[in-house]
A = this chain, B = another copy of it.
Amino acid sequence: MSSNNAPKKQPRSRYAVLGMLSMGLETGYEMKKHVEQNLGHFWSESYGQIYPVLRQLVEEELATCESENRPGERQRKRYSLTSVGWAELRAWLIRPPEPPPPRLELLLKLSFGRRLPIEACEKLVGDHREACGRDAAQLSSIESALRNAANRHPDQPFWLITLRYGRTLREAECAWCDETLEQLRNMREEDEQPSGSAVRE
């Protein structure tokens, strides 16, 4: 009852950094770039998190830091995982992720949709539809580029899994948008002839 047995919740950035260390990325700068270029479709991270986390990991001896730069080498700090770090990474990996409280702004807006002219709702959904279509296409092309890549990274199969996730979900959103747009069109047409042949109950 009293003992707080849970292993103390740590920020997710910490594990993102541990994971990137585990794949051989050595500097904070590299990690930021990797997030932007390769994980951008499902993760984001800022310097304001990365550098403090790296310092903290060294303090807790989950990672070590080499500050020395061989002369002529660009000044930078190279980090690497300790065995304790590996263990903590693995422990986190098998922990089932807990979903964050949902906050889907588009749906919130639509749930208040009656306060708007229907055309405005159609605009909201239409814009979203376009964005999703673009995203899906882009993910799809990254996917096939990666599949056909000459030099394949050992993590490649897992990257493909994440890409397929993004594509699948975007495609589903496109389908939802299309259905929704049709429904909105119907509502608008009903609105436009409230008299006519309408039978009231």
Residues of A whose CB lies within 8 Å of any CB of B are 12, 15-16, 19, 22-23, 39-44, 86, 89-90, 92-94, 96-98, 100-116, 120, 123-124, 127, 154-155, 157-159, 161-162, 164-165, 168-169, 171-173, 175-176, 179-180, 183, 187
Beyond the given A93-B109, A93-B113, please list 4 additional residue pairs across the A-B interface where CB-CB is below 8 A: A19-B111, A39-B108, A157-B187, A168-B172
Within 8 Å by CB of A19, from B108, B155, B157, lies B108
Within 8 Å by CB of A164, from B41, B92, B176, lies B176
Q: Point out which of A23, A104, A120 has the most chain B C-beta atoms below 10 A from its C-beta.
A: A104
Q: Is the interface of A mostly helix, strand, loop or mixed?
A: helix
When C-beta atoms are compared, the residue in chain B nearest to A108 turns out to be B43
Q: For A90, what are the chain B residues with a Cβ–Cβ distance below 8 Å?
A: 115-116
Q: For A161, what are the chain B residues with a Cβ–Cβ distance below 8 Å?
A: 110, 113, 180, 183
This chain's copy number in the assembly: 2
Q: For A39, what are the chain B residues with a Cβ–Cβ distance below 8 Å?
A: 108, 111
A43–B110 Cα distance when bound, in Å, is 12
Q: For A104, what are the chain B residues with a Cβ–Cβ distance below 8 Å?
A: 42-43, 165
